[in-house]
């Protein structure tokens, strides 16, 4: 389907509000999903470092006693 002008493209034959809101919601969800993935990775990395440090302290205590 070809459009005669940018305003016709934005209007999408009267369905522009639905089309563009669907695009907006979709990209918003993708953005939130990406942010959650970064947040979880950071959280898991911190937990792994804490657990590793705890394990090293336990091993050090065993060797010293």
> Sign of the C-alpha dihedral, residues 16, 20, 23, 25?
negative
Contact residues for 1 (Cβ-Cβ < 8 A; gap 6+): 13
- 52 band by pLDDT with thresholds 50, 70 and 90: very high
Instruction: Give every CB contact of residue 13 below 8 A, 6+ residues apart in sequence.
Output: 1
pLDDT at 31 over 80: yes
What is the predicted pLDDT for the residue at 65? 79
- Quick one: average pLDDT of 26-33? 98
**Structure confidence at residue 1 (pLDDT):** 63
Q: Does pLDDT of 3 surpass 90? A: no
10 token code pair: 């934005």
Mean of pLDDT over the chain: 95
Q: Is the pLDDT of residue 20 over 80?
A: yes
């Amino acid at each position: 389907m070809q459009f005669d002008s940018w305003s016709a493209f934005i209007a999408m034959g009267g369905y522009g509000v639905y089309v563009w809101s669907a695009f907006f919601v979709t990209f918003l969800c993708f953005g939130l999903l990406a942010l959650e993935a970064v947040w979880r990775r950071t959280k898991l990395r911190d937990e792994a470092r804490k657990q590793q440090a705890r394990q090293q302290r336990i091993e050090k205590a065993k060797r010293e006693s």
